[in-house]
Structure 1
Amino acid sequence: MAPAATSQKISEKDDLDATIKKLASLKPIGHSSYTGEIKSGYSGSWAEKLPETTKARYARHGVDISKGYPYVPEVDKIPKFVNEAYAIRNEVYPYVERGAKADPEKKALFGAAKEVINLTKHLGTEIVGLQLSDLNDQQKDELALLVAERVVVFFRDQDLSPQKQLELGHYWGQVEVHPQVPRISEEFNGVSVIWQDYYRAKYGLHLSFKKAIGGNAQWHTDLVHELQPAGITHLHNDAIPSVGGDTLWASGYAAYDKLSPAFQKFLDGKTAIYRSAHQYVDPENPLKGPKYVEREHPIVRTHPATGWKFLFVNRSMTVRIVGLEPEESKTILEYLFSVYEKNLDIQVRFNWRPTKEGLGTSAIWDNRASQHFAVWDHEGKENRHGTRVTSLAEIPFFDENSKSQREALGLSLD
């Protein structure tokens, strides 16, 4: 090759490298719906805006917010390239399904409770009279099984520290530390801040009466793009509107049972592509625009604790069914999304209000076998603030010999 041609090739490569670096330096690529600038570090003024109940919770449990609140990871710690995002958790992490060997009767957990209230026939349970911070390992295992069976379990009147919430998360699996999401502080990796007021102001999340869908105010399942997606998720709300601000959950077990046997047979063994909420620069094709992290998982999964099949899709992040033509995949996925979203008999709606002033409420759910939706009906006129910890679970699998929930429980499908 002539020296001039070689020099031109080197120059072109240098230009491309410079372009890639410039794109990545503009800002860390954020959520797909956000186009503004991401500000990292501590937010000083927002510490003053914290709800009084949140401040009191943090003060009781020695959580220092004097540097500001919340903390967003520094720019140089946020992945900008898609290969960096993949590398965060790209190796298999040993996972123990705590509910798999728990007492099916849950005597230790139920025996310590004042009351156990099932909110619907097969979805949602409230446990009264127990403090999550006081659970022993046997009760934690039984709670993991209860969550797997009932999808979501609620505890009101909790005086729960973020430290204990994080400890519970580590017991149930590898705690997910999100590289971009705001957290309490640098010391609380894995404790994400759920505060719509902050997201509206700082990230441009547009929620209003006319547009009440966005962020967590839509049907979704968390972290489906992970090699080992979310298992148990624990949201503790320490500031709750006096009216409104409910959350809904829908059961993936029941969604699967809603399908005809022929359709179930068609879906069993199929896989789909699941993507991240955030986007990144593709160093191989930087000018083609931001790129998602994508993983391939079974569209019907088997739960390792219950052994039941469940439908694993959600409108926000399930992209396409592998092996089908685009229009075929789009039509089928649209129907599957609607099964989750439109069947009220497979959903439960929960109001977070505690019965004792100054205390909070926890919801602990199985993120594998469910979708959830935070309702924006309080319109931001009252505070809604919480902390969330998610434990990652197993690599998704499908066991062809597993049964559906209703089949396993001997329930009629008619």
Structure 2
Amino acid sequence: MDIRTAVGDLTVRHPAGPRTLHRLPDGEEPKPYELFGIEPVTGLIGAEVSGVDLREPVGPVLFAELDRALLEWKVLFFRGQHVTAGQHLDFARRWGELEVNPFFPQEVPYLSRIEASAQKPGGQNVWHADGTWREKPLLGSVLRAVEVPEAGGDTCFADMGAAYDGLSAEMKRRIDELTAVDDFALSFGPGMDADKLAELRVKYPAVEHPVVRCHPRTGRRTLFVNPAFTTHITGLEAGESEALLGFLFQQVAVPEYQVRFRWEADSIALWDNQATQHYAVNDYFPQHRLMERVAILDEHPAAFS
């Protein structure tokens, strides 16, 4: 059975049946990992790493293997990591310079606390990639669970390379050369003091990125629009832009592209922000959930493939 969707003047066909999924870029073969165990959570995205103690410094050989695993699996999970704030930061720094986030409280520099409780319900339940409102979007993030609810509070991740691969050839031709505008105010602006919003708009103006980004490390094409920060597609009439973005936003929801992680206290997730989007499931109110996040800056501006 096929499903057809009208997107502006284009009718998009969604064939039912098996999906062909590619964890690695074309022509690249998986290689074993010598310094740690790795257990896939799905066949496409997400793997749990065992045999690594993140309280210890990550040397160059171990880093090279972890970096390769990150590019292959897009998100790595570590259980039982009783790290200090300093150790958390040191681990993230292996991938690059750290972000100072202007929207999350940081009692420790570079370490953001993301908290939800009966007094402050969680609000991260929207698919997004971190920092696409920046000229140079973030390379990745390292998120640690400090306190988790008895049930609920999972995080879902989606492979946006697979999301692009799953589009029809006609849709790919339509979007491959388009750009879109991302703006922090779409998510962080509502309720913000007008003076503060104006100040941040000067520092972080809206930016334009390719709708389809070339991953700077793997060369793989990835769908690079998200409902948290992407406001419109450049050069399109408003209705056409809205229809096309609405369709592209839906691609993240395909279960075959996703992994869902059940947190435990002292679990850590490291993800490739250039290849994924994520969604914090807000199904645990009024229970308490406290996470600590460190984000890694990217030296590469978003670029076409």
TM category (shorter chain) comes to 0.7 to 0.9
Q: Distance in 1 between the 2:116 and 2:220 partners?
A: 34
Q: Distance in 2 between the 1:151 and 1:362 partners?
A: 14
**Corresponding residue number in structure 2 for 1:128:** 50
Instruction: Within 5 Å, give how 1:60-209 maps onto structure 2.
Output: 110-113=33-36, 115-134=37-56, 135-183=58-106, 185=107, 188-197=108-117, 201=119, 207=121
Q: Distance in 2 between the 1:270 and 1:175 partners?
A: 30
Q: Given that residues 96 and 297 in structure 2 are in contact (C-alpha distance below 8 angstroms), is that contact kept between their aligned partners in structure 1?
A: yes
1:239 equivalenced with 2:159 (yes/no): no
Of 383, 388, 396 in structure 1, the residue corresponding to residue 293 of structure 2 is: 388
1:323 equivalenced with 2:229 (yes/no): no
Q: CA deviation at 1:174?
A: 2.1
Q: CA deviation at 1:281?
A: 7.8
Query: Structure 1 length as normaliser, TM-score?
Result: 0.60
Q: Given that residues 145 and 305 in structure 1 are in contact (C-alpha distance below 8 angstroms), is that contact kept between their aligned partners in structure 2?
A: no
Q: CA deviation at 1:282?
A: 8.2
Q: Distance in 2 between the 1:245 and 1:346 partners?
A: 20
**Corresponding residue number in structure 2 for 1:344:** 255
Task: Report the AA paired with residue 39 of structure 2.
Answer: I
Instruction: Within 5 Å, give how 1:3-22 maps onto structure 2.
Output: none
- Structure that is richer in helix per residue: 1
Which runs of 5 or more structure 2 residues have no equivalent in the other structure? 1-28
Of 285, 306, 312 in structure 1, the residue corresponding to residue 224 of structure 2 is: 312
Q: Distance in 2 between the 1:106 and 1:163 partners?
A: 32
Q: CA deviation at 1:179?
A: 2.5
State the secondary structure of the residue aligned to 2:102. Answer: coil
Task: Report the AA paired with residue 361 of structure 1.
Answer: S
Which runs of 5 or more structure 1 residues have no equivalent in the other structure? 1-103, 208-213, 354-358, 400-414
Task: Report the AA paired with residue 391 of structure 1.
Answer: I
Q: Distance in 2 between the 1:105 and 1:221 partners?
A: 26
Q: Given that residues 154 and 280 in structure 2 are in contact (C-alpha distance below 8 angstroms), is that contact kept between their aligned partners in structure 1?
A: yes
**Corresponding residue number in structure 2 for 1:252:** 160
The structure-2 alpha-carbon separation of the partners of 1:195 and 1:155, relative to structure 1 and needing over 3 Å to count, comes to: same
Q: CA deviation at 1:117?
A: 0.7
C-alpha deviations, 1:126-156, integer Å up to 9, x for none? 1122112332123223322322221211000
1:375 equivalenced with 2:278 (yes/no): no
Q: Given that residues 249 and 371 in structure 1 are in contact (C-alpha distance below 8 angstroms), is that contact kept between their aligned partners in structure 2?
A: yes
Number of aligned residue pairs: give it.
267
Q: Given that residues 161 and 223 in structure 2 are in contact (C-alpha distance below 8 angstroms), is that contact kept between their aligned partners in structure 1?
A: yes
**Corresponding residue number in structure 1 for 2:124:** 216
- Structure label with greater radius of gyration: 1
Of 205, 208, 216 in structure 2, the residue corresponding to residue 293 of structure 1 is: 205
**Corresponding residue number in structure 2 for 1:410:** none
**Corresponding residue number in structure 2 for 1:3:** none
**C-alpha RMSD of matched pairs (Å):** 2.4
Task: Report the AA paired with residue 278 of structure 1.
Answer: F
Q: Distance in 1 between the 2:303 and 2:193 partners?
A: 30
Q: Given that residues 237 and 362 in structure 1 are in contact (C-alpha distance below 8 angstroms), is that contact kept between their aligned partners in structure 2?
A: yes
Q: Given that residues 301 and 309 in structure 1 are in contact (C-alpha distance below 8 angstroms), is that contact kept between their aligned partners in structure 2?
A: yes
Q: Distance in 2 between the 1:140 and 1:161 partners?
A: 19
Task: Report the AA paired with residue 120 of structure 1.
Answer: T
1:278 equivalenced with 2:188 (yes/no): yes
State the secondary structure of the residue aligned to 2:292. Answer: strand
Q: CA deviation at 1:302?
A: 1.0
Q: Percent identity?
A: 33
Query: Structure 2 length as normaliser, TM-score?
Result: 0.80
State the secondary structure of the residue aligned to 2:209. Answer: strand
Q: CA deviation at 1:258?
A: 1.2
Q: CA deviation at 1:215?
A: 2.0
Q: Distance in 2 between the 1:361 and 1:334 partners?
A: 34
Q: Distance in 2 between the 1:281 and 1:242 partners?
A: 36
Q: Identify the structure with bigger relative contact order (alpha carbons < 8 Å, sequence gap 6+).
A: 2
Q: Distance in 2 between the 1:320 and 1:181 partners?
A: 25
Task: Report the AA paired with residue 283 of structure 2.
Answer: D
C-alpha deviations, 1:340-385, integer Å up to 9, x for none? 12x11111111112xxxxx61000111122111111222232x321
